[in-house]
Structures are given as C-alpha cells and as structure tokens.
Structure 1
Amino acid sequence: MLDRDVSTLTFRNMDQLFTTRTVPHAGQPWNLPRADHAMDFTYSFKGASYTPEQFLDRTYTNALLIIKDGRIVSEIYRNNMTPGTRHMGWSMTKSITSILVGCALAEGRIKSLDDQVTTYLPELRGGGYDGVTVRQVLQMRSGVDYEERYDFENPGIAARNHDAALVRNVARFADVARTVKRAHKPGEVFQYKTIDTAVLGWLLERVSGGSNLSAYAAQRLWEPLGAEADGYFIMDGPPGVGREFNGAGFNAVLRDYGRIGLMMLNGGWARDRQIVSREWVAESTRPAAAEGAEGGYGYQWWTMPGSDAYAAMGLQGQFILIDPATKTVVVKLSHFPPGEVEAEQESLAFFAAASAWPGR
C-alpha cells in the first residue's frame, strides 16, 4: 500500500486492495470548458529555476490539472493514468469531510459547531473526547492523546490502529476514540491527527438519518456537484461491518477533484446550485489561529501563508490548491516516496508560479 516501488500502481488501484463503498455520480457532468495552453512559465526552488516539464518528473507526478477562470488550461496524465483512472486522495478526504459537515450544519442535522461531540456520539462519554466540541475536532484541537506517527516497526497508537482497522479489519478505525486519553485541554493545542476526522465521519453517519457516509456524500456533494465518474471510499472492514475510512480513503478521477476545487473557489456554488454555503467556505478555509511560516489550518483545510489560498493535502503528494486571488485551481496526484519532504516544498513553489501564470 505504501511501498515506494509500486505506489504509483497501488494509488490508482485501491479497489483491488480493499473493500470499497461507491459514491455514485448521476446525471450530466458539470461541463468544464477548455482553453488549453502550454505551460510557458518557470518556477524557482532552492535557488534554481525549473520548467513545468521538469517539475512533473522531479515531484513524482501521476496527473496534473490546472483550471483558470473556470477553464481547464492544462491536463496531464502520466504513469498509465487516464481521465478515467480513480486515484487515492489520502488526506484530501479530510477536506471532503469538512464540506459534508457544512452540509449537515446547514440542514440542521448538526445544531451547532459548539455542541459537544458526545451530543451526537454518546459512546465517547468518559474518554478523551468528552467535553470536546465539534468545532474543536474540525480544527484538530480535540486535545486527545493520538500521535500521528506510522512507524510500524515500533508502533504507537496510530500505527496499531491502522494495522487493526485497515490491514486486518478486526476493528473500526474510529473505535479507538472510545478509549483514547486526553493530552491537552480541548481547543488549546493544534495536533494533526486522522482520528479527529474519523470521529467527524462517525458523527455524519449518525446524523444522516440511518444512511452511511457514502450515501450522504453522493446525495449532498457528488451528484449535485456534477461529478463525471463514481468515487469510492476504502472501508475498514467487510460489508455490513466496515465504515468508510473518511480520514484518508476517498478515490476519484482527476477532473472530479478539480470540480471540488472549482466549487470551493465559487463560494460553494456548482453548476446551478449551492452545494455548501458561501459562509461555510469562508469560515472553513480561514486559519483557526495565527499562521506560521508554513501556513495554518482551518476546518480540515490547510491555509497558505501570506495569501487567501488554501488547499486539501494528502499523503505522498496529493493536492487540491485553490487561489481565489487568481481564480486558480491546481490538482496534483503523485507518488512521493515515503518520508519525502522536498517534493512537497517544491510542489508548493510550483503552485505559486502556476497561480501567478496568466494561462493564456
């Protein structure tokens, strides 16, 4: 699943490795007009200048999409990817979960972000999530003691949970939230952890009216968005038992990730309807605290330093970058080797240049 030698293959074939649940598309896709243009710009990284063609190789790119002013200006597939290939989004799935929370709030299924999560998930009473609000979980400020470290040779709580839920399917990923302890006072410390997003997925399942997260995502996001292909979640167990791995398990085609970005750029509007409110888009992509040199974090969205740009970001090089100032959306699907740091930094440098590029 994470082997650097085959990840370009596994990242586009997760349905061959896991039980999955489909998020079906329906009706006519949202038409994305085209104004294709050669990427006639360069970008700088660590004192050197590179072309976009060099970028594709240097950062392990599987597919790249650039949308300017609502039009596709560049669309590239590599490593046997095609327009119909569904690619693992990894933690970009967290940002999709945020959109669905916004939908549930607008419908009144979630009464307030300042409700405690135990209002909806009483199973979490008595543990680290007792007294934590929905807003604090969205901001990754739950304070629970869950270190996001995947050293499988010396496993901690996250690695053990990954193994039990996703590899052996003997537990549900979110169930560890029942017993996890508290490390910090809720709201005080930002600590990125997938268990927080798993709790949000469990909450959405609970308030969806007896449905499951995939069905809710299809009804509130995927169908009205005008997706062109079915998406799917990988599951943490067999049919009838497993739950969607909504912290990092969504898969879709390149252009549908682009449609998510364009919908967010349009203030929650897609085609002929409001998917999620303009207010939610603004609030969820605003940093919860002062940004550092590398940016900040909103409601499951990363914010870019010194600008209004923000991004969904996933393990090993998955990105949806949205820059309202230049009306740009960039989607990059990749196969970074595990532990690769510079490729992410270089990707952000490329995104800044692509955003500034007129594209015409």
Structure 2
Amino acid sequence: MRRPFNEWTFTHMNWLMPTERVPRGEAHRPLRHDPQPMDLTYRFEDRDYSIEDLHRRTFTTAFVVLRQGMVVHECYPGAFAGPRSRMQLFSVSKSVTSMLLGIALAEGAIDSVKDRVTDYLPSFGDTAYAENTLADLLDMSSGVGDREDWDVPDSGIKRFEQAVMGGGNVAQVVRAAPRTAAPGQRFNYSTFDAQVIGWILESATGMSLAAYATKRLWSAIGAERDAFYWLTRARPRTAIGAGSFNATARDVARLGLLMAHDGAIADRQIVPRDWVRRSRGSDQPHLAVGALGPSGYDHYGYANQWWTLGGMAFDAFTAVGVHGQYLFVDSSADVVIVKCSAWPTQDDERRDRETITALRRIADHFA
C-alpha cells in the first residue's frame, strides 16, 4: 500500500485476492470523444496550478473527464494504468452499493429505508445495529463504532482490514462494534455501516453483490470491460461492498454519467430518479457541508453514501476512496470526472481539498 508499490497494487487486485466477476453486458455503448484543451489553472493556497501540477502533486494514475456524455479529456499518468486497467476504487464502492440499494428499493426487494437492519439480518439482533434503520446506515449516522482511524493499530478499521486480508472473521469484527451515539443524530464515517448495507442487499435479493451488480447495473450501462469485486480470504468469502469494487476509469465515468442524468441512460431508468436526488444532498443539519465534525472534512457534507458539496440545488457531489479515488459529478454542468490516484497515505485532508478545488474548477470551465 506504500508508494511506489501501490501503483501496481491498485491495478492488480485480482492477482492478490479472490474475486467475483461483474461481466459487461452484450450491448457495449461506446463513449464519444471530443478532445478539449485542458490549459486551465486552479487556485489553491494563494497559488495557481495547472492540471499537470495536480497530477504530479496528488499522484494521479488515471483521469477521465466527460462533458455532456463525451470524453473531453483522458490521461493515464500511472506507471501501470491505461484505458483497460481495472482500478481499485476503495470507498467509491460505497456509492456504487448505494446505487444498487436504490435499484433494489425500486424493484421491491427492499421495502423502505425505514426498515431495520434486523428485518434483513436477524442475526444482528444482539448487536448495536439492532436499533438502526437503513436510512441511518446510508447517511453514516448509525451511532455504531468509533472514529475510523487508520493510524491506530487496534482501531476497528484496522481490525476489519486485517480480517479481510488475513483470513479472519469479518462479520465478527463488525458485530462487535459498540454503540457510541443515538441513531440518526451524529455523522461518523463508517466502513462498517456500508458493509452492513452490502450484506442487507445480498440477503434481500438472494444474490451476491457481484451477481446483483451484473444483472441490474453493469449490464445496463454499456460498460467496455468486466468489473470485479475482490473477496475476503476466509470462507464463506464475501465482497466488501464498502471498498472492493474494481473497474476501468471509463466505466466508472459511465456510472457518474448515470448519476448526472437522474439515473437514466438512453431513456431507460436504471437508478430511480428520487434516489439520485437523495444522493445530492440532505436537509439534516448534522449532514450539511461543514457540519460533519471530526469524522469529515469541512468542505464536505454527506448523503446516501455520497459526499456532498453544497449549493442550493445540491448539483455537485462526489464519491471518494482512500489513497485519492474520486467520482465527481456536477449535474448542472453535465460534467463527470474520474480521478484515480496512489497517495502514499490513506487519508490526506490537504490533498483532498486541493483535488476538490481542481475538479470544481474543471467543471466550472466546461460549464
């Protein structure tokens, strides 16, 4: 996971972990190309930087910009990245899981976000999650677990990672998380919450996460390549709906295009329109931009497993993964940007803030 090795790791997860394929559909829908110059600058900390500076300063490996559904810019600065490389997306996977949950609601596999976790996972009745609704988990407001800290050796997220990679019992780690706040009252970024959502989806649909993603999402977006989830080492193997989805940058951009266009592609509604709009922003005060507290950066709000960026219309929002993975969507500008990276650390507030500043500048430029 350290540089420079992680550039290889983040494009070869299928060499390192068990996987389950998410096959592309029979109908491939090519993205049109309309290359545009990217000779713009963004201002960060009282200095002007170019997009080339952004890639150098934030270790970009893949970068795709869509405007009105067309590729206007694409580059792969990473040593092992290219148009066919499946990128490790980390917590961008959470936003994909949210899209799948919206689809499951629309087709009736899940009744309501007001349903309780135990309606789908009865075995969680003796855990802190017994009190929670799906809505609590979607907004990272379950009140379960401590702050997610990668630098503390025995933190919940480190024990989760060790169980996933080392063959431990992942469910046992999640089930042991303590209640630290009342449900629905406090934002606390939680991989555990997103992982429970993935298990709920599998229970409700009777399908693995990869199989459901294939049937309801990936086969419908015109993807160029198969995607995959990598799985836990221990059996029964399970996908990490909170962080193990891998796909090409172009295909991730197709997901962003779906969200930019209210969940529809070519007049076919894939993700419910109301679900997309729910993902753009929340009216709950504790989820507003700047109100997330120590578990979120000041330039973000949160809603429905997406990071929100404010504004009256909630038009710009983004999926974010550790080590610098982004799926940025600006609906009003009809701009989608995918940025994959290989940061030397999982989190970095300054690099994140610089990246968001640059992505918003690009969207404004093309708008």
Q: 1:112 — aligned with what?
A: 112
More helix by share: 2
Aligned-residue offset at 1:351: 0.6
Q: 1:299 to 1:174 in 2, by over 3 A?
A: farther
Mapped pair 1:320 → 2:332: no
Q: 1:287-326, aligned counterparts within 5 Å?
A: 287=282, 288=284, 289-292=287-290, 293-306=298-311, 307-326=314-333
State the alpha-carbon separation in 1 of the partners of residues 17 and 266 from structure 2.
33
Q: Of 224, 241, 249, which aligns to 1:246? A: 241
Give structure 1 regions of 4+ aligned residues with deviation exceeding 6 angstroms: none
State the one-letter code of the partner of 2:349: V
Structure 1 residue 146, shift from structure 2 partner: 3.7
Alignment-derived partner of residue 9 in structure 1: 8
SS in 2 for 1:130: helix
Q: What is the CA deviation profile of residues 209-237 of structure 1, one whole-angstrom value per residue up to 9, with x for unaligned ones?
A: 3x211000100110011111011111113
Pair 1:32 & 2:50 matched: no
| CA distance in 2: counterparts of 1:98 and 1:254, whole angstroms | 19
Alpha-carbon distance in 2 for matches of 1:18, 1:9: 14
TM-score for both structures, normalised by structure 2:
0.93
Output the amino acid matched with 1:21: E
Structure 1 Cα separation of the partners of residues 238 and 146 of structure 2: 20
| Amino acid of the structure 1 residue aligned with 2:224 | E
Residue equivalent to 2:125: 125
State whether residues 159 and 173 of structure 2, in contact with CA within 8 Å, keep that contact through their aligned partners in structure 1. no
Q: Is the 8 A contact 1:224 1:273 kept in 2?
A: no
Residue in 2 aligned with 1:181? 178
CA-based RMSD of the aligned residues comes to: 1.5
TM-score with structure 1 setting the length: 0.94
AA in 1 matched with 2:201: L
Q: Which residue of 2 aligns with 1:197?
A: 194
Q: What is the aligned partner in structure 2 of residue 85 from structure 1?
A: 85
| Aligned-pair CA distance for 1:58 | 1.3
Which of 251, 255, 258 is the equivalent residue of 2:253?
A: 258
SS at match of 1:331: strand
Deviation at 1:285, TM superposition (A): 2.3
Asked if the contact 1:98/1:138 (under 8 Å) is kept, the reply is yes
User: 2:145 touches 2:190 (CA, 8 Å); kept in 1?
Assistant: no
Which position in structure 2 is the counterpart of 1:149?
149
**Separation in structure 2 between the aligned mates of residue 51 and residue 286 of structure 1, nearest angstrom:** 30
SS in 2 for 1:181: coil
Count of paired positions: 353
Q: Is the 8 A contact 1:224 1:275 kept in 2?
A: yes
Match of 1:350 in 2: 358
**Residue in 2 that maps onto 1:333:** 340
Cα deviation for residue 272 of structure 1 reads 4.4
Q: Which residue of 1 aligns with 2:220?
A: 224
Post-superposition CA distance 1:132-173 (Å, at most 9, x none):
001001111111124312236x31222112112x221121x3
- Percentage identity across paired residues of the two chains: 35
Q: Secondary structure at the match of 2:63?
A: strand
Aligned to 1:19: 18
| CA offset digits 1:296-349 (Å, max 9, x no partner) | 000000001335200010001100110112111111010111053322111111
Secondary structure of the residue aligned to 2:32 is coil
Cα deviation 1:182-230 (Å, max 9, x = unaligned): 1111111110010000000000010113x21100010011001111101
Paired with 1:245 and 1:341, the residues of 2 have a C-alpha distance of 24
Q: Are the structure 2 counterparts of residues 4 and 80 from structure 1 closer, same or farther at C-alpha, using a change threshold of 3 Å?
A: closer
2-structure distance, mates of 1:114, 1:343 = 36
List gaps (5 residues or longer) in structure 1. none
- 1:56-71 matched pairs, under 5 angstroms: 56-71=55-70
User: Which whole-Å CA distance do the structure 2 matches of 1:106 and 1:190 have between them?
Assistant: 26
* Contact in 2 for aligned 1:263/1:269 (Cα 8 Å): yes
Higher mean alpha-carbon deviation, 327-336 vs 142-151, is at 142-151
Are the aligned partners of 1:24 and 1:231 in contact in 2 as well (CA < 8 Å)?
A: yes
The answer for the alignment partner of 1:170 in structure 2 is 168
Matched, 1:134 2:134: yes
Contact 1:141 1:191 in 2 (8 A): yes
